[in-house]
Amino acid sequence: MWVFVAAVFALLYVPLFILAAFSLNDSIIVALPFRGFSFEWYSAALDDVDVREAVGNSLLVALAVVPLSVTVGTLAAFGLTRFRFRLKSAVAGLVGAPLVVSWLVMGVGALLLFSALSIPLSLKTIGAVHIMASFPLVTAIVSARLIRFDRSIEEAALDLGALPRTVLARIVLPQLIPSLVASALLVFAWSFNNFTLSFFTAGFETTFPIWVYSNVEHARALPIVNAVSTFVLGVQILLTFLVWYLLRLRPGGRSAAAPLLPGLATTERTDG
């Protein structure tokens, strides 16, 4: 069992360590032995206007997608778990469909839709498609928490005279914070790193994954790609652990933060 676990972790994380190691290699050739250690590729990345623009565009899109996806996904989760209506199963299937449909199919479909409607491709079209594809993930995570939620707590609060909005703000939402935070982190990482949907809906705009795809085959640009990718990966890891640590500081924080990292490890869908 331990050999299997070690093999899985090696498959997941050894490539990331190799990426980080070669971002410090003082050579454009990705091969051993190292010619020397240097931070020149990080400096070159900071001085590259295209890199700053691509990372900035991805950050702008992700920051816009996260609150909208979390809001729409949470509302959908409440609707699917708290209400009974006709065609509920069909609606749930439509909401969850983007989780199983190929991103290539979704990207081509979005491109054809925007073309038919004469909508120019831009960061806005990227954001719209990202929201469409990511809010079902939020719905799945929040729905799982709502299904396990003890409704008798809400009923007791209502019996004691609390208004429905007070129950929502003081009882329900605090219990959903770990799920909402995990959803927000997953959506941010997914949107920032997504290539397939962004490639078909970007037009003349460039995001970080598109920039990587455009430069990864050029030998002189590959070390810069390694450096930027390592930096972005490090920031995302630090952000995840920072949020996890802040959740632990809340009252009952240990139990609230516990599901966060396992949820990130098991739920995130990666973009090949």
Q: Is the peptide bond before 33 cis (omega within 30 degrees of 0)?
A: yes
Q: Which amino acid is at 211?
A: W
Q: Average pLDDT, whole number, for the chain?
A: 83
In terms of Cα–Cα distance, which of 190, 83, 199, 102 is closest to 138? 190
* Tens of pLDDT, residues 242-272: 887 887 776 655 555 555 544 444 444 444 4
Q: What is the CA radius of gyration of the chain?
A: 22
**Half-sphere exposure for 196 (CA within 13 Å, toward CB):** 15
Angstrom distance (rounded) from CA 106 to CA 104 = 5
Does the pTM exceed 0.85? no
pLDDT of residue 240: 82
Across 86-105, average pLDDT: 88
- Write out the two tokens for 91: 């609606």
Angstrom distance (rounded) from CA 137 to CA 154 = 26
- Write out the two tokens for 153: 């707590």
Across 156-164, average pLDDT: 83
* Tens of pLDDT, residues 197-248: 999 998 888 898 998 888 877 767 778 888 888 888 888 888 888 887 887 7
pLDDT of residue 266: 41
- Write out the two tokens for 172: 């329900």
pLDDT of residue 76: 92
* Tens of pLDDT, residues 17-49: 888 888 887 777 766 777 777 788 888 888 888
pLDDT of residue 15: 84
Architecture category of domain 22-267 in CATH:
Orthogonal Bundle (1.10)
Residues 6 or more apart from 195 whose CB is under 8 A from it? 209, 210, 212, 213, 271
